[in-house]
Chains A and B, each alone.
Chain A
Amino acid sequence: MDAFVIFFTRYLPAFADGFLITAGVAALAAPAALIWAIVLIIPRLAQWTWASRLVDAYVEVMRNSPLLVQMYLLYFGLPLLGLFWSSIVCGVIAIASQHGAFLSEILRSGIQSLSQRQWEAGSAIGMRRFAVIRLVILPQAFIKVLPALGNQLIVLVKDTSLVSAIGVMDLTLTGKMTIERSGASFEAFIAVAFFYLILTSTLGLVLRIIEVRAARRYG
């Protein structure tokens, strides 16, 4: 017990820093991924055939290859193009581009599951296509897929740990360094796990509240 206390008081500042970096990366990547996801479904909604096919191909590649390799591609590739972006920026872009693809799939399935009747109801009262999409389709699709979106965002938070592989001093890398310095692998793991669980379960809780609210308002 004492060993635990000593360990935590000694390394707490480092873990707090790591926690802030992880939370920061997540706070940048999550909105970016959501915006990217919405951009990605526009071609389909607008029925731009070629652009939709391109998006489909992009989504398939993202879904079927590891985020780590995508991150390496940016981190080691961009400098060859003369772009010397920081590892945090590369990490955020990589996370947003993979999770944006996953999120857009989720949004798309939500839109598809809405019945044709919604469209017809919208057009019957004389709304233009984009108005129907904005006022009728998107809000309903959004509510329907909230649980799936939420799960994906939690996966996103966990995936921020990959920025440690390109040298960002996040929670995971802090944990690794601490183990190497102190040899206290269990203590470090407990500390790291604790901070990640705070992030993922707080996010889970907030999402659950939003779900309940949304269901009450529109359900």
Chain B
Amino acid sequence: MFPVLQSNLPYLLQGAVYTVILSAIVVSCGTALGVGIGVLASVGGAILRSIITAYIFLFRGVPVLVIMFLGFYSFPALGLRLDAYTAVAISMIVYVGAFVAEATRGAIAGVPTGQTEAAKSLGMRKGKMMREIVLPQAMRLVIAPVLNISLMAIKQTSYASIVGAWELSFAAREVVERTLAAFQIFLGVMLIYFIICYPLSLAARALDKRLAFDS
């Protein structure tokens, strides 16, 4: 029924593999970086906090595509030879990190003060209170936002094609340039992205409802 899509499907799926790998790297590293920075922002001193605030403000306020261009052009300018993937991956990790850091900071602030007061009243010190009481509760609050951020990041890996990293969207454009079958190919590619994203999307929504503690 869709001959062009069918004959090019293996090629596109190869692209999809690259998309999935890139997404997995960006999401896992970005989440780890963001959670770390979010925790630092909550325990650190005033100077550290304002540096982190500036980082979050900058990276959340500028399009990811611009950050990708920055990564792509500025590593060579610093004398580092990186391929497009590495440049894109690093840029996106830093970008995703800013979103996760903000979510983490919010989740930590969202743990009720009664919890920290109860912990203090037992004679608990700050570090232990963070580990034992605040973080376990904040991490539950942060799962749903992180899933949504991951979803955003997976879709944004398609922008890597603009700076020249070959993945699903890049492959799609190549095929369309060759075959001109824009509808078949791009709709097919949207479907492939949908298959990658939809389970996460469902999980995010289900968790949104379920993860709040009964009180």
Residues of A with Cβ closer than 8 Å to B?
60-61, 63-70, 72-73, 76-77, 80, 154, 158-162, 164-165, 172, 175-176, 179, 183, 185-186, 189, 192-193, 196-197, 200-201
Convert B55-66 into 0s and 1s, putting 1 for each residue whose CB lies closer than 8 angstroms to a CB of A: 001100111111
| Nearest CB of A to B18, in Å | 14
**Nearest opposing residue in chain B for A157, CB measure:** B63
* Interface flag for B115 (CB, 8 Å): no
How many A-B contacts at CB < 8 Å in the complex? 119
Chain B residues whose C-beta falls within 8 Å of the C-beta of A68 in the assembled complex: 158-159, 161-162, 169
Q: Are B66 and A189 in contact (CB under 8 A)?
A: yes
Within 8 A of A (CB), among B134-158: 151, 155-156, 158
**Nearest opposing residue in chain B for A78, CB measure:** B182
* Interface flag for B11 (CB, 8 Å): no
**Nearest opposing residue in chain B for A73, CB measure:** B186
Q: Are A73 and B61 in contact (CB under 8 A)?
A: no
The residue in A69, A70, A158 that gathers the most chain B C-beta atoms within 10 A of its C-beta is A69
User: In whole angstroms, what is the CA distance A172 to B70 when docked?
Assistant: 11
User: In whole angstroms, what is the CA distance A64 to B200 when docked?
Assistant: 9
Q: Are B64 and A189 in contact (CB under 8 A)?
A: no
A175-B69, A196-B66 known; A69+B172 contact, CB < 8 A? yes
User: In whole angstroms, what is the CA distance A156 to B193 when docked?
Assistant: 20
Q: Are A172 and B69 in contact (CB under 8 A)?
A: yes
Q: Are A64 and B201 in contact (CB under 8 A)?
A: yes
Q: Are B70 and A189 in contact (CB under 8 A)?
A: yes
User: In whole angstroms, what is the CA distance A176 to B73 when docked?
Assistant: 9
The residue in B58, B187, B190, B194 that gathers the most chain A C-beta atoms within 10 A of its C-beta is B190
Q: Are B162 and A165 in contact (CB under 8 A)?
A: yes
- Our pick among B65, B73, B189, B197 for the contact of A172 (Cβ within 8 Å) is B65
| Nearest CB of A to B106, in Å | 12
Q: Are A61 and B69 in contact (CB under 8 A)?
A: no
B contact residues, range: 35 or more
A66-B193, A69-B190, A186-B77 known; A172+B182 contact, CB < 8 A? no
A69-B193, A73-B186 known; A179+B69 contact, CB < 8 A? yes
Chain B residues whose C-beta falls within 8 Å of the C-beta of A67 in the assembled complex: 155
User: In whole angstroms, what is the CA distance A196 to B64 when docked?
Assistant: 11
**Nearest opposing residue in chain A for B183, CB measure:** A77
Chain A residues whose C-beta falls within 8 Å of the C-beta of B69 in the assembled complex: 172, 175-176, 179, 189
User: In whole angstroms, what is the CA distance A146 to B213 when docked?
Assistant: 26
- Our pick among A61, A72, A164 for the contact of B182 (Cβ within 8 Å) is A72
Q: Are B58 and A70 in contact (CB under 8 A)?
A: no
Q: Are A161 and B155 in contact (CB under 8 A)?
A: no
User: In whole angstroms, what is the CA distance A189 to B159 when docked?
Assistant: 17
Chain A residues whose C-beta falls within 8 Å of the C-beta of B57 in the assembled complex: 197, 201
Chain B residues whose C-beta falls within 8 Å of the C-beta of A164 in the assembled complex: 65, 162
> What are the 3 A-B residue pairs with the smallest beta carbon separation, nearest first?
A161-B63, A76-B182, A185-B73
Q: Are A61 and B63 in contact (CB under 8 A)?
A: no
User: What would be 24 A-B contacts, judged by CB atoms less than 8 Å apart?
Assistant: A61-B194, A63-B197, A64-B155, A64-B194, A64-B197, A64-B201, A65-B190, A66-B155, A68-B158, A70-B190, A72-B182, A73-B182, A73-B183, A77-B182, A77-B183, A179-B69, A185-B70, A189-B70, A193-B58, A193-B61, A196-B63, A197-B57, A197-B61, A201-B57
